[in-house]
A and B are shown apart, each in its own frame.
Chain A
Amino acid sequence: MAKGSSSNNAAAVFGTAVALRLALFQFPALASLLGERVEISTPVTSFKRLSEGVFLFTNGVPPYDGGVVHQAPLLLGLFYPIISSPLLVNLLYILTDLAIGYMLLRITVIKDMDYAKEKKITQYGGKEEEPGMGGLSVATLYLFNPYTLASCIGRSTILYSNTAVVAAIWMGMKGNRSLAMFSVAVATYLSLYPSMLIIPVILMLTRKINDNDLTKKVTIQCTGLFAGSLVALFALSFVLVNSWDFFGSVYGTILTVSDLTPNLGLCWYFFIEMFDQFRPFFLVVFQIHVFIFAVPVSIKLRKYPLFVSFLLCAIMGTFKGYPSIGDASLYLGLLPLSSEIFKYMRYSFLVTNLFMYSTLLAPIFWYLWVYVGSGNANFFYAIGLVYGIGEIILMIDSTFAILRRDFEAHSPPETTGQDAALGWDREVVQK
């Protein structure tokens, strides 16, 4: 393919993405409608709450001395100069979304270069495995994902956390240690959970180093960089709002799930219904459960840091206290980076259906419960469960697929000897 046509294609994709978003922003009613949907805006990402925070900040009321604002102080600082102009705010959202698309494109390019050096897997009929999706396809899948669009038009601030995550992966793939660690720190600063991405990003940074001692050194250096960036961000926040109240208000709310506004996650109804005396116990268990997978997954799949970051993002997006479809848009955007595993996945149809089913029914059941009163909380909770099961099956299935592919790479079907008779149709089980 000629370079000119591919850059033309890229221009077309990004241009269409911008035009689509601009067109959708032309309907302020749509933006505010989406911005108030519980599936899109959670207490920690709602633009309405951010506006309130900026308003309080502007008027000299300490924004974190109250129960409304749970977003990081630097976000207030980012929006403080521009919030009065809807156009600038919308442009910021559009450009950030496009930046994610662009970074995904670049990541794919780097990944393809990595994969070019690897030994090709032979497939049925002795053919070589075909290369995965191109960068532009990955970017397109992200930019035109309905979840991404809804999240962007709804002006959910999860977008900035997602940007930091993708930037961290990009920088990790590029090998830029300081920027990669800084991006992880920003993502952590904005929504705490991405802190576990430090492991896959370090794996990316050290993937070309064979020396053990050097790997250790780089790891320690990266951890230091991460901690340093995080401390700097906190210090900057303190300078901005002149109080440490934001710790409790931002991270305390994330960790204790104190705002029980419904969302597509599993926590809200659980903690509404939980008996008071067991609430702290389950809170601790649920929060540990989110972080517990970072280490084992990174060990088992250390050769696939891209996939590890996808899996960790999906775990966050499923089990954190305030998940939204913005989280789904992130991991669904990262999934095509490992597009070579698609053919090993068994439940794609089921997962697609579960996602569509919950996406369609969630607003309906919400309406039945909250507005009409002919349904109750269980309706919406049930949809949350279905959505959660969809996410879980996706994660399990993709993990299975990458392990299966790994197995194929390491023990390809024998072409000679006794086992050759098994051929390409051999059965495989997990033992």
Chain B
Amino acid sequence: MRASSPCLLLLSGAVLALSAAASTTTDTIPILKAPEAFHEQLVLKPLNDGSVYSHFQFTTHIGTMMDDDHFDGAASNLFKHYNLFPRSIGQILHSFEVEELHLTFTQGRWQYSDWGYPLAPSAGTGVELWAWLNDDKRQTEEHWKGLTNTLSGLFCASLNFIDDTITTEPKLSFRNEGLYNTHSVPTTSHNKNNSTIPRKLRYGSLPHENVCTENLTPWIKLLPCKSKAGIASLLKSHKLFDTRFYSMAVHVRSVCEDEKCRVRSLELIQTITAVFDVARHDGSFDWSLSGLFEREITQSCPLASTSKVIVNLPQTADVENQYSLVPHPPQGIHSEGSGDKKQEIAVYDLQKVLPGTTSPFQLALHWEGSRPKLVRAITPGIVAHRYFTGFGQERGGLAIEIRNNNSQDIEAVYLDTLPWYLKLYLHTFSIQLNGNSMDNQRDLVQKMFYQPAVDRSRPAVLELALRLPANSLVKFTVSFDKVFLKYTEHRPDANRGFDVGYAVITAQLPREQGQIGFGGLDHLRIYQEREAGLVQGRRSGKQEKEEKEGETDKMRVYTDTLLVSLPTPDFSMPYNVITMTCTVISLFFGSVFNLMMRNFEVVKPSSSSSKKSGKGKEKAEKTE
């Protein structure tokens, strides 16, 4: 593969040049069969602890042929006409020159050690927004501000609070996700293609933001069928927000439509991930679609090219058929992988199942007898835990524990953004490996990027390129001071404390057994077998890849958000403090003024005479 990549690159370059030259004479340019396409699918999986994981995914493609290096919407006539692609998103991308956009709303904690890694790439509590912006005209700051404010209005969220004090520009994490696919040319080629385009990354997160119905409604409005038909008709907010974990995302990026990246398209992926606690009500682990969502799918979305419900069957280790899936999938159960990595999948194509019947689509899973305690253990490759140390409201410490469960060294990037009101002391940064403090940090921390915080204007960013030894526990500690805020800078519920966002670990992980997903957006495409050729290409590419380096996935692991309590002033005191301080200061000023302006004088013994003389003197002074 590596040997062949320069050839591929040459080839694609040549084709691009050719197409640019001969755009009027249509010869070599492949014509898109469908300039716009919409795919929807629902993935369901019973988790090890009995919860049910559900993942809705709606993908809208808007095709374009781009001779240009970058995604130039205006030039390619892309944002002139909208059919399936939501106009509101298109206009945002166009007016703020957004190359890539990722917006995720999350509520609840993703339990890595119980559930493994999620299918959708983001799982940090709160709202996370990151975007690659075109920096041709050096207007990134204005565009980012406009983008956050517009999205804030669009999704009814407090995204406008992502201002300079929160926004960061990670140097190693959150790389471009667009313009390469699992089945297209390797990433290096597109980087070379696009090296001339100045792009800027902006990243911001709001850990305090609550996600609720008002965010879901505008999100549903972006779908071509809204929630009228297709799997989106299952989206009932009362049930979705009554879950252990809820995550809702919008990802926009440009992708390659063929192996050589001659045809590209803009891809909008909307996902909703929810983990239902099915056993909470009656103790039974059985579930059905109507039970989970209290809604039914009565018709498939006519605008969708594909519309599928996919069930990842639980992999019971010992005995077969401990459960029954009703109805049985028409095409039978097929399995991916083998041995430990085996995953059985049942696929229901709604476009084939629904027409012809008037009854809604039903799906249920029943356990025969009692559900086995542990289906198959999950050991996530990397688990991270971050917490505060110390007590009191004056200072504290931050500790991060990263456990590498793999039997090989893992390259990982750690990104931590701390708000300015925690003053980090980097000279107190220390590393422990398996409980022993390390003097030589170079083996472990290969690169370190640190941006100190500036009061009231930017956060502290700590980014570490790590090499985590196999089967190890790495612990970092760093101490900080808590800043005393002005009374207007406190939240209305000042004694609750301030939310401190999550840290993100990006790592290239070998594919593990029993995981739901593999982190990256590309993996989401695995279920979209859109065009046979593409899939074929992907498979062949993948096989080669497998031979070369084994299966790895770029994964982002999020730590929990933290709550820090800052020292509070007495909020009822402003007038008292102002008057008392000013009194003390004027006491000094008055006394010194007195001492400076007046002279000593001897008092005459008889008071009457002293008064007279005093008056006399005053008079004398006045007459002078």
Q: Which residues of A contact B (CB under 8 A)?
A: 36, 48-49, 51-52, 54-56, 59, 61, 65-68, 258-262, 266, 268-276, 286, 289, 293, 296-297, 300, 318-319, 369-371, 373, 376-378, 381, 385, 388-389, 392, 395-396, 399-400, 403-404, 407, 411, 419, 421-422, 426-431
Contact = CB atoms under 8 A, between A and B. Distances in A.
A395 B485 contact: no
Given A271-B486, A377-B568, A395 B601 contact: no
B427 A273 contact: no
Nearest to B588: A392
Contact of A259 (B455, B569, B591, B599): B455
B420 to A, nearest CB: 6
Given A376-B570, A426-B603, A261 B598 contact: no
Contact of B486 (A260, A261, A429): A260
B584 A388 contact: yes
A272 B581 contact: no
A272 B603 contact: no
B319 interface: no
Contacts of B455: 67, 258-259
Given A68-B423, A266-B585, A273 B483 contact: no
Given A261-B481, A399-B595, 16 more contacts: A48-B425, A49-B425, A54-B427, A56-B426, A61-B452, A258-B455, A266-B585, A270-B577, A370-B394, A371-B394, A377-B569, A403-B600, A404-B600, A411-B602, A422-B605, A428-B603
B interface SS class: mixed
Contact of B598 (A48, A371, A422, A430): A430
Nearest to A50: B427
A214 to B, nearest CB: 27
Interface residues of B, number: 55
A56 B600 CA distance: 58
Nearest to A64: B452
B484 A67 contact: no
Contacts of B581: 266, 269-270, 385
Given A65-B452, A259-B455, A389 B592 contact: no
B517 interface: no
Contact of B600 (A54, A66, A389, A428): A428
A71 to B, nearest CB: 14
B585 A319 contact: yes
Contact of B425 (A52, A403, A430): A52
B45 interface: no
A293 B595 CA distance: 12
Sorted nearest first, the 6 A-B pairs with minimum C-beta distance are A66-B452, A55-B427, A427-B603, A407-B600, A67-B455, A371-B392
A392 B585 CA distance: 9
Given A266-B584, A429-B601, A430-B600, A272 B452 contact: no
A49 B426 CA distance: 10
**Most chain A beta-carbon contacts within 10 A, residue among B453, B596, B614:** B596
Contact of B393 (A260, A273, A371, A422): A371
10 contacts: A56-B450, A56-B452, A261-B481, A272-B485, A274-B486, A289-B589, A370-B394, A371-B393, A396-B592, A431-B614
Interface of B: 391-395, 420, 423-427, 450-456, 460, 481, 483-488, 567-570, 573-574, 577-578, 580-581, 584-585, 587-589, 591-592, 594-596, 598-603, 605, 614, 617
A36 B392 CA distance: 13
A395 B589 CA distance: 11
A293 B592 contact: yes
A289 B585 contact: yes
Contacts, number: 164
A394 B567 CA distance: 32
A60 to B, nearest CB: 10
Contacts of B569: 269, 272-273, 376-377
B270 to A, nearest CB: 39
A307 B143 CA distance: 60
Contacts of A54: 427
B241 to A, nearest CB: 35
A190 B338 CA distance: 71
Contacts of B425: 48-49, 51-52, 68
A67 B600 contact: no
Given A258-B455, A428-B603, A52 B567 contact: no
A378 B574 CA distance: 11
Contacts of A286: 585
B403 to A, nearest CB: 28
A273 B577 contact: yes
Nearest to B488: A276
**Most chain B beta-carbon contacts within 10 A, residue among A269, A276, A422:** A269
Contacts of B573: 273, 377-378
A428 B394 contact: no
A266 B588 CA distance: 13
A260 B454 contact: no
Given A270-B577, A273-B574, A261 B483 contact: yes
Given A371-B391, A430-B598, A66 B453 contact: yes
B601 A431 contact: yes
